């Protein structure tokens, strides 16, 4: 099985997840915007990766690959706001008052600013052949600190959601992704496994929305 085929399958799965997301009619506007942008970003990322061997000789390969990195650092920080919104949806005590809101906004802005700065100033984009498949990667090898920090924050907020009698899926999704990516990080195949774990994370986000919908219906 080729690497390009694996990424093509990932693209197909994300199309299914995007389609399914629109069947959940009552997702609040801001959370739906985040989920839609997240899924379109993942679709773009995996499509470019799937076409790596086709695009490698094109003079625009670098140009079409660069948005992959910017989409990542622009979209993902808003996961913190998404998690905070789910806390408010269950009227969690931790979401009341201005303190938590200020903290969430500071974290979001900080992760966004840091991610943009690192991508603009430290990214060394170059081609690499892994398992006979070409892709553009960050040759500097700088760890994605903003992504890691946002993942940890999502675990914490997901735990608070679960503690407030909300669904456990947000916590479980963020926790599983963090553990699996941490285990895979030293290995050459981590660029494949990390994109596979994103499928599970989006699935858990949609399960969270479905559970919140059922909770809302039961309280009416």
pTM of the predicted protein model: 0.94
Largest CA-CA distance found in the chain, in angstroms, rounded: 58
Could you report the per-residue pLDDT of 9-56, keeping only the tens digit for each? 999 999 999 999 999 988 999 999 999 999 999 999 999 999 999 999
Tell me which residue of 4, 17, 6 sits closest to 200, measured CA to CA: 17
The string of pLDDT tens digits covering residues 143-187 is 889 999 999 999 999 999 999 999 999 999 999 999 999 999 999
**Residue 25: per-residue pLDDT:** 85
Looking at the chain, how many residues does it have? 220
Give the model's pLDDT for residue 97. 85
Round to the nearest angstrom and report the end-to-end CA distance of the chain. 50
The per-residue pLDDT for range 42-51, each reduced to its tens digit, is 999 999 999 9
- According to CATH, the topology of domain 3-218 is Rhopdopsin 7-helix transmembrane proteins (1.20.1070)
Domain edges within the chain? 3-218
Q: In the structure encoding, which two tokens stand for residue 44, read together? A: 């773009």
């Amino acid at each position: 099985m080729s690497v390009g085929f694996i990424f093509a399958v990932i693209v197909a799965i994300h199309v299914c997840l995007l389609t399914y997301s629109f069947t959940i009619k009552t997702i609040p506007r801001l959370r739906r915007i985040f989920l839609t942008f997240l899924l379109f970003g993942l679709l773009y990322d995996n499509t470019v990766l799937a076409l790596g061997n086709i695009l490698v000789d094109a003079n625009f390969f670098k140009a079409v690959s660069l948005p992959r990195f910017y989409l990542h650092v622009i979209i993902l920080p808003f996961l913190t706001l998404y998690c905070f919104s789910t806390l408010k949806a269950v009227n969690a005590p931790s979401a009341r008052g201005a303190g938590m809101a200020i903290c969430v906004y500071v974290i979001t802005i900080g992760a966004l600013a840091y991610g943009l700065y690192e991508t603009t100033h430290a990214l060394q984009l170059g081609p690499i052949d892994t398992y006979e498949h070409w892709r553009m990667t960050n040759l500097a090898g700088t760890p994605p600190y903003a992504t890691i920090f946002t993942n940890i924050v999502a675990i914490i907020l997901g735990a608070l959601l679960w503690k407030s009698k909300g669904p456990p899926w947000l916590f479980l999704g963020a926790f599983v992704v963090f553990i699996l990516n941490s285990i895979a990080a030293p290995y050459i195949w981590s660029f494949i496994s990390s994109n596979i774990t994103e499928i599970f994370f989006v699935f858990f986000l949609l399960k969270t929305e479905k559970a919140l919908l059922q909770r809302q219906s039961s309280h009416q």
